[in-house]
């Protein structure tokens, strides 16, 4: 089905699939729309779904001491899930909120687990996806622990995360960088003067 082609293309960046291997997943796929500010995953509720963003943007956040801590953004052609909750079947530690109206291809983690048992290609995809997620988490953690707020901002501006600067509201960017909106504004002004 052509509407699912972007998901297949994304999966095949990890591992090539035969038509037969791809068709193992197709019956488990559905298109889901989310209105702006709707939650895809919610803190305290067990999450079972993996999404692939066709249109829109989402943010991934925790709540600590009553304050939201934005840790990640998702855009078109990204997989999105509360993976910890899916894998361990435990209440989610995070929420994933639509920052715009979104359209996603959705399938359950349970369906993916079934494919791991049936196919070496799907097993390899699962391993490579886990490695990709782990390296992204490590990069984010090291950046938060070793870079100054201005260096973290420059990483966004110069790095491969330009979509965040272009599309995400400033108060969420500040939260993502661990700053107040006022501090972010000061950093942006200093950077523009250089």
Q: Is domain 2-117 annotated with CATH 2.60.120.10?
A: yes
Is the pLDDT assigned to residue 150 strictly greater than 90? no
Task: Give residue-wise pLDDT tens across range 67-89.
Answer: 999 999 999 999 999 999 999 99
CB < 8 Å & 24+ apart, contacts of 36-40:
36/98, 36/99, 36/100, 36/101, 37/97, 37/98, 37/99, 38/97, 38/98, 39/95, 39/96, 39/97, 39/98, 40/80, 40/96, 40/97, 40/98, 40/102, 40/104
Task: Give residue-wise pLDDT tens across range 119-145.
Answer: 999 999 999 999 988 888 898 888 888
Other residues' Cβ atoms within 10 Å of the Cβ of residue 96: 23
Task: Give residue-wise pLDDT tens across range 2-29.
Answer: 899 999 999 999 999 999 999 999 999 9
The backbone torsions φ and ψ at residue 50, rounded to the nearest 5 degrees and listed phi first, read -115, 135
The residue that leads in pLDDT, 37 or 152, is 37
How far is the C-alpha of 189 from the C-alpha of 192, rounded, in Å?
Answer: 5
**pTM passes above 0.85:** yes
How far is the C-alpha of 175 from the C-alpha of 114, rounded, in Å?
Answer: 38
Give the start-to-end residue ranges of the domains of the chain: 2-117
């Amino acid at each position: 089905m052509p509407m699912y082609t972007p998901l297949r293309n994304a999966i095949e960046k990890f591992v090539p699939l035969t038509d037969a291997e791809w068709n193992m997943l197709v019956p488990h796929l559905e298109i889901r729309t989310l209105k702006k500010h709707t939650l895809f995953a919610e803190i305290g509720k067990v999450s079972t779904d993996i999404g692939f963003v066709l249109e829109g943007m989402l943010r991934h956040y925790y709540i600590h001491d009553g304050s939201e801590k934005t840790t990640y953004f998702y855009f078109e052609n990204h997989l999105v899930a509360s993976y910890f909750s899916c894998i361990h079947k435990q209440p989610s530690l995070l929420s994933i909120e639509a920052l715009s109206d979104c359209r996603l291809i959705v399938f359950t983690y349970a369906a993916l687990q079934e494919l791991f048992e049936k196919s070496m290609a799907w097993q390899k995809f699962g391993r490579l996806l886990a490695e990709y997620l782990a390296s992204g988490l490590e990069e984010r953690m090291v950046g938060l622990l070793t870079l100054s707020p201005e260096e973290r901002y420059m990483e966004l501006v110069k790095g491969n995360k330009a979509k965040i600067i272009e599309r995400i509201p400033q108060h969420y960017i500040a939260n993502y960088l661990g700053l107040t909106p006022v501090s972010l504004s000061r950093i942006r002004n200093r950077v523009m003067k250089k």
